[in-house]
Homo-oligomer: A and B are copies of this chain.
Amino acid sequence: MFKEVITPRFYETDAYGHINNTVVNQWFETARRPIFELFARGPDIKDWCIILARTEVDFIGQTYYGKDVEIQSCIERIGNKSFVVGQEMYQDGGLVARGKAVQVHFDQQLQVSLPLTVEQIEQLAKWMKPGDQ
């Protein structure tokens, strides 16, 4: 499991007075940053070999401007060419959103999915929940 702390920004609110729902997907992407580094072949983002196949988000409570948010991410399942990231977002001690992201090892030049490497699987496994490995 790994964590990301995010300070809500004013432009991320909407006319309801809360953080807009679509921003939660942006924050969850941001919180998956350590995973992207596992799939970077070089300094250029164009050489990353990872894509997103699916996202799910449950909005459990409202998220507000003025208080930091903590996102906890863990790996829920490791497949042959893809894996599932589980994410939970907390504000003020309460769970406000929960999500899943299915990411795929993918060669952008060749446009084909690739088997996860041994190194990738080892690192992803370290981020599984205790008892899940």
Contact = CB atoms under 8 A, between A and B. Distances in A.
A14 interface: yes
A56 B59 contact: no
Given A14-B14, A17-B15, A30 B9 contact: yes
Interface string A45-87: 1101001111111110000011000000000000000000000
Interface of A: 9-11, 13-18, 20-23, 25-26, 29-30, 33, 36, 43-46, 48, 51-59, 65-66, 108
17 contacts: A9-B29, A10-B33, A10-B45, A11-B20, A11-B21, A11-B29, A11-B30, A13-B14, A14-B14, A15-B46, A15-B65, A16-B45, A17-B46, A21-B25, A22-B29, A53-B58, A56-B57
